Structure 1
C-alpha cells in the first residue's frame, strides 16, 4: 500500500468513526448529565483523532509527522477510555460499544505502529 493509499484509508476510517459517534450521540433521548459529559468527551477525543491524523498527513517532515501521530495515538487512547467509562456506567449498549471499541482499538494499534515505524526512519 502506498503512503497516499494508507493516508486516504485512515482519513476515511477516522472520519467514519467520528461520524458514527456523533450520530449515536444525536440519537440519545434526554441523556443524564453524566451521560452528556462523557459523551461529549468521547466526541472530542474521536474527532481529535480524525483531525490529528488529517494534520499528520499534511506534515512536511518525518519528525513533524511522528509528533502529530503521537497526538493521534493519545487521542485514540482517550477514545477507548471514554467508551470504557460509558460501558462501565452502563450508559451504552453492548452492541454499540463493541462496534465502536473494536474500530477505535484497530485505529489505535495501526497509528501506534505507524508512529513507531516513523521514529525508526
Structure 2
C-alpha cells in the first residue's frame, strides 16, 4: 500500500492551521490563569508567549530562504511548542486546571510536535545531501 503524501504547500498549510488553532485554544486558558495567583499569572504569561511564538515562527518557517534557515526556524517552533506543552502540564501539576480541561490540548500539542520533529529530521537528512 502506497503512503499518501500531501503536496508540500498543502502540508505546510495544514500544519499552520493546527498550530494556530493550538495557540488560539491556549489563550482563554492564559486569560483564566492571569486572574488567579501571582504564580498562575507567571505561567499564563509563559504559555501565552510560547504558544504565540510557535505559530509566529512557523509562519517564518514557510518563508525560509534556505535549507539552513528552514531547519533553524523549524527548531525554534519545536522548542516553543514543547515549552507550551510543558506549561500546560505544569498548570495541571499545580492544580490550576482539571485534566479534562486541557488534556485534549496537550494531546494535540504532542501530535503536532511529533509531525514537526519528523519534518525536521527529514530536513536534516536533505540538508546533508
After TM superposition, is the score higher than 0.5?
yes
Q: 1:90 aligns with which of 77, 91, 95?
A: 95
Per the alignment, do residues 85 and 2 of structure 1 end up closer, same or farther by CA in structure 2, a change over 3 Å counting? same
Q: Which has the higher contact order (CA 8 A, sep 6+)?
A: 1
Q: Which runs of 5+ in 1 are unaligned?
A: none
Aligned residue for 1:120, secondary structure, equals helix
- The number of residues matched between the two structures is 121
Matched, 1:60 2:65: yes
Q: Which runs of 5+ in 2 are unaligned?
A: 1-5
Q: TM-score normalized by structure 1?
A: 0.93
Residue 25 (structure 1) shift: 2.7
Q: 2:17 aligns with which of 5, 12, 18?
A: 12
Question: Paired residue for 1:105?
Answer: 110
Residues 8-87 of structure 1 mapped to structure 2, 5 A cutoff: 8-27=13-32, 30-87=35-92
CA RMSD, Structure 1 to Structure 2 (Å) = 1.4
* Structure 1 moving runs of 4+ over 6 Å: none
- When Rg is computed on C-alpha atoms for both structures, the one with the higher figure is 2
